[in-house]
């Protein structure tokens, strides 16, 4: 058959396509903008016919109909590798379970340990050679699709086509069913206006970044804000190697800062695994030869990251304790996001010649009742440790920047207290004394 004949032979309505799903199956939605909106809605309509259908996804912005239609979780059990704000709310309601992971290991988990009965994903329209581009899902999608017994593609007319290093597309011959239909515009996530604390944090980091550095910016508002400030700096010839491509990189490009010409590997190319942000970002990454998507097995591998001189990793966290442990995924036992690639970039940047890894946070936060708390805490109680104290590097707040490498427990306590909010320093000193990590000779 010709490519077009193959395409037509596999074309189904969403309702027809999801008939292949059986009770007890494992179904994958992959990630991010690859969320199959039409297929999810069609599967939700089969609720009363099915039980114990287990669904995996991550960074999905919702609504997920299979979750919304079944609050008792008798028919569909949703699980996430890394929670978006929407998925976090599902966790709060008991409607989502987190799957602990390091992002570069997700596809190897599938290859060696997991079952995928049906994989469903949004892709770009088929090209003249019979390929569908995996777009912003390239970081993990191909490995999941290869493991699936049945592959269903949903054509999303709005997805940007992102050029790939490898595993960025799937051929019609490897597909079982195809679904078409109208989609809403892609979700957009404009960067918030920087607060005074954000600006001071960025100002603390900027002196440590050199011309020609390669930049990784993590998920969240603060790394994006820092990226915007980099665009307004005097730095030049910066590179991009990042798990997530966000609007900050567009700002760097438009400011003439992002050239990728000094990178040791992938010279001239900005490398990413996933992408989401504003429509401006989607337009920029679409068929842009300067932006290349690759699997996270490569993008996030510390040995890949370490090959780039002056690799700068900037990520945010929720809290740190006086021992230097960093939590970026929970508030005590309340799940927030996930490990993602933070630990890999901390490791890889530290291995890079001239590289530096920064973990940034505001010194305080307000809880849901408006009560202010210090993000620097004496010791964690139930919080999930994302970065172990043995790999703590630069920790930054609006009150300063400290490097914990090679520091004793009492030095760490002293350094971290020095960048805590002044209102909490005396209390933290008393806590450090009780923990036996404060020298009596230290001046208050």
Catalytic residue list contains 329:
no
Please give the pLDDT value at position 169.
Answer: 98
Q: Which residues of the chain have pLDDT under 50?
A: none
Please give the pLDDT value at position 390.
Answer: 95
| Structural domains present in the chain | 3-179 (3.40.1080.10), 196-435 (3.40.1080.20)
d(CA 419, CA 271): 33
Please give the pLDDT value at position 334.
Answer: 92
The tokens 């690859």 sit on which residue?
34
| Sheet containing 356-360, strands listed edge to edge, beginning at the edge strand earlier in sequence | 291-293, 270-275, 239-245, 214-217, 311-316, 356-360, 394-397, 400-403
Please give the pLDDT value at position 226.
Answer: 82
d(CA 23, CA 271): 39
- Of residues 87, 154, 168, 243, which has the active-site annotation? 243
Q: What is the pTM of this model?
A: 0.95
Please give the pLDDT value at position 444.
Answer: 52
Please give the pLDDT value at position 336.
Answer: 93
């Amino acid at each position: 058959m010709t490519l077009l004949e193959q395409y037509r032979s596999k074309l189904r309505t969403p309702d027809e396509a999801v008939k292949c799903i059986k009770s007890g199956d494992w179904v994958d939605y992959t990630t991010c903008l690859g969320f199959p909106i039409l297929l999810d809605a069609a599967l939700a309509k089969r609720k009363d016919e099915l039980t114990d259908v287990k669904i995996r996804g991550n960074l999905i912005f919702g609504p997920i109909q299979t979750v919304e239609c079944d609050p008792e979780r008798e028919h569909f059990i949703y699980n996430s590798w890394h929670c978006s704000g929407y998925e976090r709310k599902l966790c709060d309601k008991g409607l989502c379970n987190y799957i602990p992971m390091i992002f570069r290991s997700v596809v190897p988990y599938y290859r060696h340990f997991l079952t995928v009965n049906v994989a469903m994903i949004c892709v770009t329209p088929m090209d003249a050679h019979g390929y569908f581009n995996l777009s912003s899902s390239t970081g993990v999608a191909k490995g999941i699709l290869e493991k699936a017994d049945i592959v269903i593609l949903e054509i999303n007319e709005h997805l940007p086509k992102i050029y790939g290093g490898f595993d960025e597309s799937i051929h019609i011959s490897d597909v079982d069913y195809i679904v078409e239909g109208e989609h809403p515009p892609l979700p957009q996530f404009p960067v918030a206006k920087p607060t005074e604390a954000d600006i001071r944090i960025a100002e603390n980091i900027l002196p440590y970044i050199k011309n020609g550095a390669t930049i990784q910016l993590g998920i969240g508002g603060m790394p994006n804000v820092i990226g915007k400030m980099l665009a307004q700096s005097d730095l030049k010839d910066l590179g991009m190697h990042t798990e997530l491509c966000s609007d900050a990189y567009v700002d760097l490009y438009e400011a003439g800062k992002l050239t990728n010409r000094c990178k040791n590997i992938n010279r001239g190319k900005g490398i990413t695994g996933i992408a989401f942000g504003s429509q401006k970002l989607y337009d920029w990454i679409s068929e842009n030869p300067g932006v290349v998507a690759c699997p996270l097995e490569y993008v996030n591998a510390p040995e890949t990251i370490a090959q780039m001189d002056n690799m700068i990793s900037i990520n945010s966290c929720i809290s740190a304790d006086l021992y230097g442990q960093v939590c970026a995924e929970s508030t005590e036992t309340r799940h927030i996001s996930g490990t993602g690639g933070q630990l890999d970039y901390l490791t890889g940047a530290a291995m890079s010649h001239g590289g530096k890894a920064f973990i940034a946070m505001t010194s305080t936060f307000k809880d849901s009742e408006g009560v202010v708390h210090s993000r620097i805490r004496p010791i964690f109680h139930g919080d999930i440790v994302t970065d172990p104290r043995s790999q703590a590097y630069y920790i930054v707040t609006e009150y300063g920047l400290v490097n914990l490498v090679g520091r004793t427990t009492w030095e760490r306590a002293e350094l971290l207290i020095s960048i805590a909010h002044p209102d909490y320093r005396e209390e933290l000193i008393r806590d450090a004394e009780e923990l036996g990590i404060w020298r009596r000779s230290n001046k208050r």
